Amino acid sequence: MSFFPELKAFPMPKPVKELETLKHHLQKNSLKLTRQRELILTTFLKMEHVTAEQLYHILAKKDPHIGLATIYRTLKLFCETDLAQERHFGSQTQFDNVSHKGHHDHLICTSCGKIVEFQNCQIENLQEEVARKNGFTIQTHKLELYGLCDTCQPSS
């Protein structure tokens, strides 16, 4: 079974801004931008909520020498540069491509694993209000709501 077959149909242009961000971080840490890291970045940026294993299945077809450990290490680098966020949805660790989007929250189906991203200013304002009333300053947060999507809900 092929994950994300639509990726084959489109050429993958180099992500200039994200590539510069990664290069800067690598240079600061005395690391190099390798062909494999660049391939992982280009492929990752075309995806949403992906596991390292899913990315490996796609990339192994393009570069059979790429290893799962390389993908894990590179995804961690992406998290360090704010190109990705590591998320733990249930028992799975997924990496969320956040390079092109602002803060958002998630609805997660506990049956099929479907993930829906959403933004809601009222929720954000309420969280700030609750924090303020309790003398608390929010530095960061994540909101994950677990339930059943419309497809997995039992019919009435």
What's the Cα-to-Cα distance from 77 to each of 71, 117, 139, rounded to whole Å?
10, 23, 22
Whole-structure pTM value: 0.66
| Helix 35-44 / helix 16-28 crossing angle, nearest 10 deg | 140
The pLDDT value recorded for residue 15 is 66
CATH topology of domain 5-97: Arc Repressor Mutant, subunit A (1.10.10)
Q: Give span(s): CATH 3.30.1490.190, the chain.
A: 105-147
Q: How many helices (H) and strands (E) does the chain have?
A: 5, 5
- 3-state SS, residue 95: strand
To which H or E segment does residue 109 belong?
Answer: strand 105-109
Domain 105-147 = CATH 3.40.50.10810:
no
List the 144-147 sheet strands across, edge first: 115-118, 105-109, 144-147
Q: What is the pLDDT of residue 84?
A: 87
User: Which residue ranges of the chain lie beneath pLDDT 70?
Assistant: 1-15, 90, 100-102, 156
Q: Are 90 and 49 in contact (CB under 8 A)?
A: no
Residues 4-29 pLDDT 10s:
444 444 444 556 788 888 899 889 99
Phi, then psi, of 108 in degrees rounded to 5: -125, 125
- State residue 37's pLDDT score: 93
**3-state secondary structure at position 32:** coil
